[in-house]
Amino acid sequence: MHSRPIPATGEALPVIGCGTWMGFDRAPGSAEFAQLPGVLAALFEAGGSVVDSSPMYGKAEAAVGQVLAEGAVQGRPFLATKVWTTGRAAGIRQMEESLRLLRTQCIDLMQVHNLVDWAGQLATLRQWKEAGRVRYVGITHYASSAYAEVEQVLRSERLDFLQINYSAQERGAERRLLPLAAERGVAVLVNRPLGGGGLLRRLRARELPAWAGEIGCTSWSQLLLKFVLAHPAVTCAIPGSGSPPHMAQNALAGSGTIPGAEFWRERHADLLA
């Protein structure tokens, strides 16, 4: 799998990761939980590492922690999670709980989820980074209604990462946020790269376009992910999945040809359903 540098350090990050919203909110012992080692195995076997979670995602952090601790999956994860609460003490409590559930001493990336209490939480995150309990700090959002505030924070704060929604059907981040992230040396994780799943479901009723083979794609999910990776500001896309075959298919988008914006200019319309 290709990787791209995190601007703050130059560390290489594989370009496809795994989101855990819904897909990893599973109870141990359930048939769905039993799929999860296969999801992370598919990610790691393809050369990926980024696993994105949040205390907002129910049992997802606990599921990631348990699967990794059971040792059946080999690979070095890059663990990203979030703080999603108000107030310093509550933020610290929540992050301590995330470390416990993920069964780690250090989170690779801690993000302020949906900008909730961002000024207060970022202050704590910086202290945690100094203390070596998190390696990178960032903010997230998923809705264009928040872009003005996201832009303000990107301009005024020193961040390592921005996580934002971007897909063939949600291109608003191209206007200001992605260029600004590049200018400010901020890595970008892309959430909702498959349009939250809805875009992909609609496209799957159609035949793949004839040109898919030109860039080595055999599925709509690969096309949608390669579209996202065409933007030079994007560091890694994190499609959500609780399905091993879906994760394996998605990971393929991170290898082979990744064409730039020029390629998509005339083909983008084929990705809309």
Ligand X SMILES: NC(=O)c1ccc[n+]([C@@H]2O[C@H](COP(=O)([O-])OP(=O)(O)OC[C@H]3O[C@@H](n4cnc5c(N)ncnc54)[C@H](OP(=O)(O)O)[C@@H]3O)[C@@H](O)[C@H]2O)c1
CB of 63 to ligand X, least distance (A): 12
- In angstroms, the CA 11 to CA 137 distance is 14
Considering the rule CB under 6 A, would residue 242 count as an interface residue with ligand X? yes
Q: C-alpha distances in angstroms, 32 versus 38, 63, 112, 143, 164?
A: 11, 11, 28, 29, 27
Helix axes 88-102, 118-130, angle to 10 degrees: 50
CB of 51 to ligand X, least distance (A): 9
CB of 144 to ligand X, least distance (A): 12
Q: C-alpha distances in angstroms, 267 versus 143, 211, 253?
A: 25, 9, 17
Which residue in 164, 69, 182, 60 sits closest to 112, CA to CA? 164
Piece of 2-10, 228-236, 240-248, 253-261 that binds ligand X (CB under 6 A): 240-248
Q: Are 122 and 141 in contact (CB under 8 A)?
A: no
User: Site for ligand X (CB under 6 A): which residue of 6, 13, 16, 20?
Assistant: 20
Considering the rule CB under 6 A, would residue 113 count as an interface residue with ligand X? yes
Q: 151-190 mask for ligand X (x: CB under 6 A)?
A: ------------x---------------------------
Q: Are 160 and 136 in contact (CB under 8 A)?
A: yes
User: Site for ligand X (CB under 6 A): which residue of 16, 48, 52, 61?
Assistant: 52
User: Site for ligand X (CB under 6 A): which residue of 26, 135, 226, 246?
Assistant: 246
- Cβ proximity to ligand X: between 194 and 262 the closer is 194
CB of 218 to ligand X, least distance (A): 11
CB of 191 to ligand X, least distance (A): 3
User: Site for ligand X (CB under 6 A): which residue of 49, 121, 124, 140?
Assistant: 140
Considering the rule CB under 6 A, would residue 85 count as an interface residue with ligand X? no
User: Site for ligand X (CB under 6 A): which residue of 200, 228, 252, 258?
Assistant: 200
CB-neighbour burial class of residue 11 (10 A; exposed 0-12, middle 13-18, buried 19+):
middle
Q: Are 71 and 37 in contact (CB under 8 A)?
A: no
- Report the largest interatomic distance among the alpha carbons of the chain, rounded to a whole angstrom: 55
Piece of 5-13, 118-126, 138-146, 209-217 that binds ligand X (CB under 6 A): 138-146
Q: Are 194 and 168 in contact (CB under 8 A)?
A: no
- Cβ proximity to ligand X: between 135 and 141 the closer is 141
Q: Are 229 and 238 in contact (CB under 8 A)?
A: no
Token code pair at residue 153: 């924070």
User: Site for ligand X (CB under 6 A): which residue of 21, 118, 166, 227?
Assistant: 21
**Residue ranges that bind ligand X, judged by CB under 6 A:** 19-21, 23, 52, 113-114, 140-142, 163, 191-197, 200, 221, 238-243, 246, 249-250
